[in-house]
């Protein structure tokens, strides 16, 4: 964003140029040595052929349709933009609406709408959809049963079947819209994280014909206007932002995002606060984080194991950050320098060039250098979606490469896309630098196409009472090897594991893990693998309560599992010390690879002696249960706990299930799970 009233040589020059010339200069500066783009700008984008009842390109006989999105990682937003592009082919004006800007009055006056809603965490709305979700629930009963009686709509939910509350937001919104009088034109669509593009394609196949029929019924049009697909290149797409090149190169250095940096008339290094209302909700973390030093980074596994889990300690001194025991630590990863340089070299970007982004909502802190944009904000190492390949095809100078990308993006190429991109682990950076080297992306289009780098969350493995000025994380380094010679590393875990990482950008989020108010209450901890992280924090806190605060502390049981005692038994010495000093009253261990028959923590829970003890703690002493780890483990543990209640408590299956649900409702059975 550029501050008003600041005059620089560049702004003077820009004022003397036509808009098209200014853009040409901007692209030239960012793409210094790139060959010309394949489309002659004098010709303009090619339009499609209109069939059936023909309409002129750019006209909208079917009127406007609002396309709302609730997105945390950008997928729903990408789908919304794609639908808006398609809308014009069918005579609709597709208007993309970020739910952060949701206005009840406008929705109530709208007659056609599409909602693309991601579910975040344990069935929660995304950050930008919170106000919409609250309004839709109508908890204060202010809305009538026909508040949305004039609305015809469609809902597509985005979620993961690995979570208990699969697509809760999409399901709830679909029902609540009907409760308020709105009528669906198609069935609710649900997309699973692993197949979301295919799910979205299937759901949207008949979408426009149904909305066209709705428009006819509403009297908007008496035509069925369909524009045939056109070879409209992505560079012809109207972006919701522009880039402005600044005359000073590399002066600012790296910005943490805590403040908005803007140019000054004297030296370009003025600092001004950014209005919160001008920040895009889905990327607010770029503006609200703290850069802290790495104090410790050590390996927890044996060299014989072959894998890696790091114990990382970060220094909070002077940052102003505080946390509660077992809160969530959010880490903002960075792309490796080698990847950034390869992309810049292939596209001809000047990494030290300084630019500002002019837009309604800031996507990330600017002014910044091209190097910072590629390092801190764009996800270059993630696997691109099929639709992205279709958009990239428009920027390929090689017709052969363009056709190959179009095929991979097509329905017919779905299987080949899965093999070539997903199974082989080919990142966006690798595709545009190695697989399709003729691609030439102006910087603004790379920013538009690439997803944003998302924070990764780690349950904190330290007690805030014991380590008030430090935060500890237990990080499993992700390494996939689809075949010999190909390795795909996790962006954040490999970043944290690297010895060169000396400072990291972080913020803290509250966790559902909280010890009972009465320290004498028993707790049951179940955390195999890196699920041990919050359990370590809670054990440190219990020891502090006993030894430093002089409190009475109840029984503390821990169920931990890993493959082998001598290779990946995380924090073995610390757990032994907790057991020795009485902080840990019972330690149950499951080593899944040490015997012919695999044993996991859920198997230990249902063993007769353990089941009796667990039931006694739950039923007679109000014990609390904490579970952390992968979603599949969490589901197995849940079944085991229901089984324990059923057998040891002598209840039928229905009563046992209701009993466990009651524990969850009371906050006595808490889970923090992640998709493995």
Which CATH number does the domain housing residue 370 bear? 1.20.990.10
Distance separating alpha carbons of residues 269 and 262, to the nearest angstrom: 7
In a domain, 557, yes or no: yes
Of 235, 573, 623, 193, give the one whose Cα is nearest residue 391: 235
What's the rounded mean pLDDT across residues 256-274? 41
- Domain with residue 310: its CATH number is 2.40.30.10
In a domain, 351, yes or no: yes
Taking 60 as the threshold, does the pLDDT of residue 39 lie above it?
no
**Cα dihedral 525, 528, 529, 531 sign:** negative
Predicted local distance difference test score (pLDDT) of residue 658: 97
Residue ranges in 236-375 assigned as alpha helix (H): 337-347, 370-372
Predicted local distance difference test score (pLDDT) of residue 254: 59
Per-residue exposure over 285-310, b if at least 16 CB sit within 10 Å of its own CB, e if not: bbbebbebebeebeebbeeebeebbb
Distance separating alpha carbons of residues 369 and 252, to the nearest angstrom: 8
Based on the fold, state whether residues 357 and 428 are members of the same structural domain.
Answer: yes
Choose the final residue of a domain: 413, 433, 451: 451
- Express each pLDDT in 137-185 by its tens digit: 998 888 999 999 999 999 999 998 878 789 999 999 999 999 999 999 9
- Express each pLDDT in 195-241 by its tens digit: 898 999 999 999 999 999 999 998 876 555 454 444 444 555 678 89
Based on the fold, state whether residues 485 and 556 are members of the same structural domain.
Answer: no
Domain limits at 106? 50-230
Taking 50 as the threshold, does the pLDDT of residue 60 lie above it?
yes
Based on the fold, state whether residues 445 and 460 are members of the same structural domain.
Answer: no
In a domain, 517, yes or no: no
Please say whether the beta carbons of 290 and 444 come within 8 A: no
Predicted local distance difference test score (pLDDT) of residue 233: 46
Predicted local distance difference test score (pLDDT) of residue 49: 33
In a domain, 141, yes or no: yes
Based on the fold, state whether residues 446 and 503 are members of the same structural domain.
Answer: no
Q: Work out the pLDDT band at 58, boundaries 50, 70, 90.
A: low
Based on the fold, state whether residues 527 and 485 are members of the same structural domain.
Answer: no
- Express each pLDDT in 424-476 by its tens digit: 999 999 999 999 999 999 999 999 999 999 999 999 999 999 999 999 999 99
Taking 60 as the threshold, does the pLDDT of residue 262 lie above it?
no
Strands (E), 529-647: 556-562, 586-591, 624-630
Q: How many residues does the chain have?
A: 676
- Whole-prediction pTM: 0.83
Provide CB contacts within 8 A for 213, sequence distance 6+: 185
Based on the fold, state whether residues 642 and 547 are members of the same structural domain.
Answer: yes
Distance separating alpha carbons of residues 405 and 394, to the nearest angstrom: 9
> Hey, is 442 helix, strand or coil?
coil
- Express each pLDDT in 534-547 by its tens digit: 999 999 999 999 99
Please say whether the beta carbons of 219 and 328 come within 8 A: no
Taking 80 as the threshold, does the pLDDT of residue 274 lie above it?
no
- Domain with residue 557: its CATH number is 3.40.50.80
Distance separating alpha carbons of residues 540 and 533, to the nearest angstrom: 11
- Report angle CA 86, 89, 95 to the nearest 5 degrees: 50
Taking 60 as the threshold, does the pLDDT of residue 77 lie above it?
yes
- Express each pLDDT in 61-74 by its tens digit: 899 999 999 998 88
Instruction: Give the residue, 496 or 5, on which the prediction is more confident.
Output: 496
**DSSP sequence for 157-202:** EEE-TTSTTTTHHHHHHHHHHHHTT-EESS--EEEEGGGHHHHHHH
In a domain, 54, yes or no: yes
Based on the fold, state whether residues 62 and 85 are members of the same structural domain.
Answer: yes
Please say whether the beta carbons of 33 and 348 come within 8 A: yes
Neighbours of 211 (CB within 10 A): 24
Distance separating alpha carbons of residues 17 and 424, to the nearest angstrom: 47
Based on the fold, state whether residues 84 and 209 are members of the same structural domain.
Answer: yes
Based on the fold, state whether residues 594 and 605 are members of the same structural domain.
Answer: yes
- Domain with residue 206: its CATH number is 3.40.50.360
**CA 650 → CA 82, 181, 186, 261, 487, distances in Å?**
55, 47, 47, 65, 51
Rg (CA), the chain: 28
In a domain, 518, yes or no: no
Choose the final residue of a domain: 422, 451, 480: 451
Based on the fold, state whether residues 142 and 115 are members of the same structural domain.
Answer: yes
In a domain, 546, yes or no: yes
Predicted local distance difference test score (pLDDT) of residue 18: 35
Predicted local distance difference test score (pLDDT) of residue 483: 84
In a domain, 516, yes or no: no
Percent helix / strand / coil, the chain, rounded to 5: 40, 20, 40
Based on the fold, state whether residues 104 and 167 are members of the same structural domain.
Answer: yes
Based on the fold, state whether residues 506 and 623 are members of the same structural domain.
Answer: no
Number of domains making up the chain: 4
Distance separating alpha carbons of residues 125 and 138, to the nearest angstrom: 15
Bridge pairing between strands 586-591 and 556-562: parallel
Distance of CA 560 to the CA centre of its chain: 29
Token pair 């793409």 is at which residue? 31
């Amino acid at each position: 964003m550029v501050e008003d009233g600041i005059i620089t040589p560049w702004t003077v020059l820009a004022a003397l140029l036509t808009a098209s010339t200014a853009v040409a200069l901007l692209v030239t500066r960012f793409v210094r040595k790139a060959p010309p783009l394949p489309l002659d700008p004098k010709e303009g984008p090619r339009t499609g052929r209109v069939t059936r009842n023909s309409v002129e390109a750019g006209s909208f006989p079917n009127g406007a349709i609002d396309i709302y999105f609730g997105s945390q990682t950008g997928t729903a937003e990408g789908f919304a933009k794609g639908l808006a592009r398609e809308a014009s082919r069918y005579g609709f004006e597709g208007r993309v609406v970020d739910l952060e800007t949701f206005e009840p009055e406008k929705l109530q006056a709208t007659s056609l709408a599409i909602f693309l809603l991601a579910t975040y965490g344990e069935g929660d709305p995304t950050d930008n959809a919170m106000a919409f979700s609250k309004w839709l629930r109508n908890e204060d009963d202010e809305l009538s049963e026909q508040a949305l009686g004039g609305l015809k709509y469609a809902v597509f939910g985005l979620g993961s079947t690995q979570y208990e509350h699969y697509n809760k937001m999409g399901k709830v919104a679909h029902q609540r819209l009907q409760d308020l009088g709105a009528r669906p034109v198609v069935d609710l669509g649900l997309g699973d994280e692993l197949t979301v593009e295919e799910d979205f394609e299937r759901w949207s196949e008949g979408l426009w014909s149904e909305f066209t029929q709705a428009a006819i019924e509403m009297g908007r049009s008496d035509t069925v206007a369909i524009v045939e697909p056109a070879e409209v290149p992505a560079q012809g797409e109207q972006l919701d932002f522009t880039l402005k090149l600044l005359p000073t190169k590399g002066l600012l250095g790296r910005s943490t995002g805590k403040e908005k940096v803007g140019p000054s008339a004297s030296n370009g290094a003025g600092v001004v606060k950014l209005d919160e209302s001008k920040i895009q909700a889905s990327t607010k973390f770029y503006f609200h984080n703290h850069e802290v030093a790495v104090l410790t980074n050590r390996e927890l596994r044996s060299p014989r194991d072959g894998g890696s889990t790091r114990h990382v300690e970060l220094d909070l001194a002077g940052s102003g950050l505080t946390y509660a025991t077992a809160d969530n630590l959010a880490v903002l990863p960075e792309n490796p320098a080698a990847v950034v340089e390869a992309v810049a070299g292939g596209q001809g970007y000047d990494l030290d060039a300084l630019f500002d982004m002019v837009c309604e909502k800031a996507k990330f802190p600017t002014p910044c250098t091209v190097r910072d944009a590629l390092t801190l904000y764009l996800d270059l190492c993630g696997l691109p979606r099929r639709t992205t390949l279709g958009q990239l095809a428009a920027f390929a100078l090689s017709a052969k490469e363009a056709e190959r990308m179009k095929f991979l993006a097509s329905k017919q190429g779905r299987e080949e896309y899965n093999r070539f991109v997903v199974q082989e682990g080919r990142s966006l950076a690798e595709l545009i630098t190695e697989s399709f080297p003729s691609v030439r992306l102006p910087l603004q289009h790379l920013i538009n196409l690439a997803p944003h780098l998302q924070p990764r969350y780690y349950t904190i493995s330290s007690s805030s009472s014991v380590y008030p000025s430090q935060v500890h994380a237990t990080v499993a380094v992700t390494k996939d090897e689809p075949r010999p010679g190909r390795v795909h590393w996790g962006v954040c875990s490999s970043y944290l594991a690297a010895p060169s990482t000396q400072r990291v950008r972080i913020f803290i989020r509250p966790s559902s893990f909280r010890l009972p108010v009465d320290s004498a209450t028993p707790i049951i901890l179940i955390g195999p693998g890196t699920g041990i992280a919050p359990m370590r924090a809670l054990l440190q806190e219990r020891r502090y309560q006993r030894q430093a605060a002089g409190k009475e502390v109840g029984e503390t049981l821990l169920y931990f599992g890993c493959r082998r005692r001598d290779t990946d038994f995380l924090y073995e010495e610390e757990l032994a010390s907790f057991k020795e000093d009485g902080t840990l009253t019972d330690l149950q261990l499951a080593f899944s690879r040490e015997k012919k028959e695999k044993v996991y923590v859920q198997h230990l829970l249902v063993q007769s002696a353990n089941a009796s003890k667990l039931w006694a703690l739950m039923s007679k002493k109000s014990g609390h249960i904490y579970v952390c780890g992968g979603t599949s483990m969490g589901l197995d543990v849940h079944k085991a706990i229901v089984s324990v209640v059923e057998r040891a408590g002598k209840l039928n299956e229905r009563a046992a299930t209701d009993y466990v649900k009651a524990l969850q409702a009371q906050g006595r059975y808490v889970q923090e799970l992640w998709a493995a």
